[in-house]
Structure 1
Amino acid sequence: MSFRTVVITKESKLSLRMNHLVVKSDSIVQVPIGEISCLIIENPNITITGHLMNALTENKIMTIVCGRNHLPQTFLHAVYGHHRQSRLIEQQIGWQENYKKRLWQLIIQKKISHQKQLLKHYYRQLDLTMFDSYIADTQLDDLTNREGHAAKVYFNLFFSDEITRDTEHAKNAALDYGYQILLAVFVRTIVSKGYLSEIGIKHRNEFNLYNLASDLMEVMRPIIDHKVLKTIHDQFEKDEKREIADVLNQKIVINNKMYYLVNAIEIYVDSVFKYLSTGNEKYIKFPSWKY
């Protein structure tokens, strides 16, 4: 089972040799392809061979290339993710609206529950019954925007004295970095299952290539929030980035068993696709974790 997250921070040449990733910079490092779960290329001054790019996609390795701002900008994934892709895309286009609306309701309820759990971890004496009301009042398709109301309270409690979502701050940069890594996991998983990430259930932005990934990852955003609150203070440099990326090595619970985060996401995504194809809510398996 793949488990390593490889981060490239120096100007390097990346190539493939004997089914190993070869990183050549000041020295030469080799990592077995089969052990890599995620490759993050932080330094854009790298060269990479076509053989390696094909090996990365064939082995379903999540590959992220950062831009000039050192935040994830490009995801590398295969054009075709599944041998039945055309059939699966037809099914995706035909997913029933009521199934999608119900799924969004469940995702938002679970997300708010995870937000409450994290608040309780930091503010044990705080009255959080309002979050129970947000959960109970979430309607199909979240028509009354309980997600937005919960998020306003949640982020004000954690970050209002320091940042807003538009502020240049180490914690803001870390949140963006973590969310993009999480998004990349979902994109890779969705594509590998033969579906289009462009076609979402709630997100429908024509300029967003990752609408469906943006939908499904909502339930897991608080796991990134916790990482940021735990590790980031006044700076967001190389060491802090590795701390955030280490979330991929975290184990969480799904279907009453412990899995690495990447594997848990695959189970979760599979369960969602089964529900959307059948309408049977018993298929849905949401991940959970403790702080």
Structure 2
Amino acid sequence: MDRIVDIETDKLHLCVIRGFMAIKLDHEEIGRIALDDIAAVIVHAHGVSWTTNLIVQLAQRGAMMVLCAANHAPVAMMVPVEGHHSQNARFRAQWDAPRPMMKRAWKDIVSAKVHMQGSLLTAIGKEEGEGVSRMAKRIRSGDPENIEAQAARRYWPALFGSDFRRDRTVTGTNAMLNYGYTVMRAMVARSIIAAGLHPTIGLHHANRLNAFALADDLVEPFRPLVDAAVHQMVQEGVSEVNKMAKARLAALISADLNLEGATSPMSICAQHLAQTLAASFEHGQLKLALFSTPDPLSWSAIARHIPQGEAR
């Protein structure tokens, strides 16, 4: 089972005890989580310490640690060096992939994202949904007209109100989105490493300072799933990144999606997307496994998805 472990309490110490990540406060153990169950550890609190042995054992299992700023946006990740038995060959194939293939892959990714945005708006009864969905059909290879940004200008006011502006630096709804996207980014980054791809070599994102450009590309279709959960919580009166909000957003990776006619958890969908991209690079023929757009009932289930356990 993949678990996102959130550390929000100050002065905790994290270490390994007999295959478990032990959590201690003032030298007293307050909890344990099996290392084999952990997909990522997200650290928000200040003054948290951990052992090198913990990081090593997480990396050996393909898990990672994510460090966040006060606005819940990630600022650093510790990821495994090795992720796949054919890693070297896949790195080379990824680096040598022709530009037209990269642009077609970006088209498929952005089209899926914009179509998801339109579908979500329709599912919650917003008339703008149909128009946004139509925009997805206009996206060409590489998205030269930047339909993604055009869709966003219609999407955000329709979803959260005319006064809403997407801003990573502010609190409230934006901070909840930041946290949810951090969970998705960690999930996708882990899948990329496991597929033997290099996270720095992106399809579209190419900031020289961004070590996770490919993760920022492949996470795009998953973002509206976070938006759905945050919208639902806002409707329920949640206005900040509290313990309950973190637990629900972290649990999204276990929510069910339809992938090629079968029901699969979100984390498995991320793995299939990364694996099929790697195979596309190796074989020179693009074929991405993208999950199907949810129907209205599925959107409702995703937005209300409740974790089995509680976030710490």
> What TM-score, normalized to structure 1?
0.91
Give the aligned residue type for 2:265: Y
Q: Corresponding residue for 1:65?
A: 67
* SS of aligned partner of 2:4: strand
Q: Secondary structure at the match of 2:137?
A: helix
Between the aligned partners of 2:277 and 2:164, the Cα distance in structure 1 is: 34
Which residue does 1:103 correspond to in 2? 105
* Larger CA deviation: 213-222 vs 31-40: 31-40
Q: 1:229 to 1:147 in 2, by over 3 A?
A: same
The CA RMSD measured in Å over matched residues stands at: 2.0
Moved more, 244-253 or 170-179: 244-253
Q: Which has the higher contact order (CA 8 A, sep 6+)?
A: 2
Query: What does 1:1-291 align with in structure 2 at a 5 Å threshold?
Result: 2-10=1-9, 11-25=11-25, 27-123=29-125, 126=127, 128-166=129-167, 168-232=170-234, 233-281=238-286, 283-288=287-292, 289=294, 290-291=298-299
Deviation of the 1:57 alpha carbon: 0.7
Q: State the shift of 1:7 in Å.
A: 2.1
How many angstroms apart in 1 are the aligned matches of 2:132 and 2:73? 32
**How many angstroms apart in 1 are the aligned matches of 2:194 and 2:2?**
18
What residue identity is the alignment partner of 1:227?
A: A
Q: For residues 213 and 71 of structure 1, do their structure 2 counterparts lie closer, same or farther at Cα, with a shift above 3 Å needed?
A: closer
SS in 2 for 1:137: coil
Deviation for aligned residue 1:54: 0.6
- 1:87–1:272 CA distance, 2 compared to 1 (3 A): closer
**Which amino acid in 2 is paired with 1:20?**
F
Specify whether residues 199 and 154 from structure 1 end up closer, same or farther in structure 2 by C-alpha distance, changes over 3 A only.
same
Where does structure 2 lack aligned partners over 5 or more consecutive residues? Answer: 300-312
Residues 62 and 261 of structure 1: CA distance in aligned 2, closer, same or farther (over 3 Å): farther
- Asked if the contact 1:231–1:243 (Cα under 8 Å) also holds between the matched residues in 2, the reply is no
CA–CA distance in 2 between the matches of 1:47 and 1:185? 23
Tell whether the 8 Å contact from 2:62 to 2:83 is kept in structure 1 after alignment: no
8 Å CA contact retained: 1:44, 1:68:
no
Deviation, 1:127, is 5.7
Aligned counterparts of 1:226 and 1:277: Cα–Cα separation in 2: 35
In the alignment, the residues of structure 1 paired with residue 2 and residue 183 of structure 2 have an alpha-carbon distance, to the nearest angstrom, of: 15
> Aligned partner of 2:8: which letter?
T
Aligned counterparts of 2:32 and 2:67: Cα–Cα separation in 1: 19
Number of the residue aligned with 2:303: none
Cα displacement (A) at 1:279: 4.1
The alignment of Structure 1 onto Structure 2 pairs a total of residues equal to 288
Q: TM-score, normalized by length of structure 2?
A: 0.85
For the 8 Å contact 2:110–2:221, the answer to whether it is kept is yes
Cα distance between partner residues in 2 of 1:128 and 1:68 = 33
In the alignment, the residues of structure 2 paired with residue 97 and residue 180 of structure 1 have an alpha-carbon distance, to the nearest angstrom, of 28
Please tell me whether the aligned partners of residues 44 and 66 of structure 1 are also in contact (alpha carbons under 8 angstroms): no
Contact 1:272 1:284 in 2 (8 A): yes
Aligned letter for 2:19?
Answer: N
Instruction: Decide whether the 8 Å contact of 1:65 with 1:75 is kept in 2.
Output: yes
- TM-superposed CA distance for 1:243, in Å, is 2.1
1:132 and 1:71 map into 2 onto residues whose CA distance is: 28
Asked if 2 retains the 8 angstrom alpha-carbon contact of 1:137 and 1:146, the reply is yes
Give a deviation string over 1:140-177, Cα, whole Å, max 9, x none.
Answer: 11111111111111112123434212372411111111
267 and 171 in structure 1: CA distance in 2 versus 1, 3 angstrom threshold: same
Question: Does the residue aligned with 1:65 lie in a helix, a strand or coil?
Answer: strand
SS in 2 for 1:140: coil
Question: Amino acid of the residue matched to residue 221 of structure 1?
Answer: R
1:249-268 residue CA offsets vs partner (Å, 9 max, x unmatched): 21222122222221220011
SS at match of 1:13: strand
**What is the identity, as a one-letter code, of the residue corresponding to 1:215?**
D
Superimposed CA distance per residue, residues 105-141 of structure 1 (whole angstroms, 9 cap, x where no aligned partner): 11121111111110011116x2644234312221111
Q: Distance in 2 between matches of 1:105 and 1:111?
A: 10
